[in-house]
Amino acid sequence: SLTRLAVPVAAATLLLAGCASTGDDDASPAAGDGEVTLLTEGKLTVCTNPPYEPFEYEEDGQVVGLDMDIVGAVAEDLGAELEIKITPFEGIQSGADLDSGNCDIVASGITITEEREAKMDFSDPYFDADQGLLVPAGSGIASVEELDGLTVGVQTATTGATFAADNALNVVEFEDLGLQIEALRNGTIDAVINDIAVLGPFASDDFEVGTTFPTGEQYGLGIKTGNTALLDAVNATLERIASDGTYEEIYTKYIGTAPSAG
Ligand code: ARG
């Protein structure tokens, strides 16, 4: 619809691209395929894997972040309360948490991949991502070639782990980003690979970003395969927050720049 043209460029591009690929011609998606049924009535249960700042991280005993604000908007539109469950990324990305009825939605900086699309339905994309390399400050490691003979920490079942495997790197797997960073700090690994948006903020006296690997990924929210009522509702919210300025507000709050500034 034409209202999308009024939203910030990056968000508009993402949402339009999403629409084009699904071929969804429904003008009011939330009312499209029947009523949304949630696992627990009145509650939108979301699985996520912190620490993954700025997308999901704990603050004052609460899980907050860009992803949490987005699913918060979905819950608001559904008139439901938001319930966050912390679970391993493995089951989030494999569709297991959705299939077993552990949660209605998985929101965890999840890259939309062909393999995962076979296991769950994805919303329209809401964030652009690339892989990155975090190394000890002053180490000067800045390419895949320079990782030869070194040990790289990756997060289990992520696209970063796939990237490392595709490049035949010598890896150690960690359950979450926090453990990856801790191992880099302890010197048990030489470098960390994960999404650049989460690694960038770790640049400090101790660490530097070695390089960005332009993998051209996009994040989506995952919904159980075939739950079109919920999928349509999620996409309707993404469209709503893109056009009313909420998405830009959320993005700026957590990323520090406006989405159109790239
Ligand atoms: N974007 C990457 C992937 O989908 C990493 C996501 C990890 N997310 C997290 N919350 N730990 O594989």
Predicted local distance difference test score (pLDDT) of residue 103 = 98
3-class secondary-structure state, position 212: strand
Q: Name which of 51, 60, 85 is nearest 71 in CA terms.
A: 85
- Give the global pTM: 0.88
C-alpha–C-alpha distance, residues 259 and 262, integer Å: 6
Q: Which residue is closest in CA terms to ligand 1's atom 5?
A: 158
Token reading at 150: 């070194």
Atom of ligand 1 nearest to the CA of 113: 4
C-alpha–C-alpha distance, residues 225 and 105, integer Å: 11
Predicted local distance difference test score (pLDDT) of residue 34 = 77
CA 26 to ligand 1 centroid distance, Å: 30
CA 164 to ligand 1 centroid distance, Å: 14
C-alpha–C-alpha distance, residues 146 and 8, integer Å: 39
Q: How does DSSP assign 131-176, residue by residue?
A: EEEEEETT----SSGGGTTS-EEEETTSHHHHHHHHTT--EEEESS
DSSP category for residue 65: S
Pocket mutation for ligand 1, best pick of 64, 68, 93 (most atoms within 8 Å of C-beta): 93
From first to last of its 262 residues, what are the pLDDT tens digits of the chain? 333 333 333 433 344 333 334 444 444 444 455 799 999 999 999 999 999 999 999 999 999 999 999 999 999 999 999 999 999 999 999 999 999 999 999 999 999 999 999 999 999 999 999 999 999 999 999 999 999 999 999 999 999 999 999 999 999 999 999 999 999 999 999 999 999 999 999 999 999 999 999 999 999 999 999 999 999 999 999 999 999 999 999 999 999 999 974 4
Predicted local distance difference test score (pLDDT) of residue 214 = 98
Predicted local distance difference test score (pLDDT) of residue 21 = 40
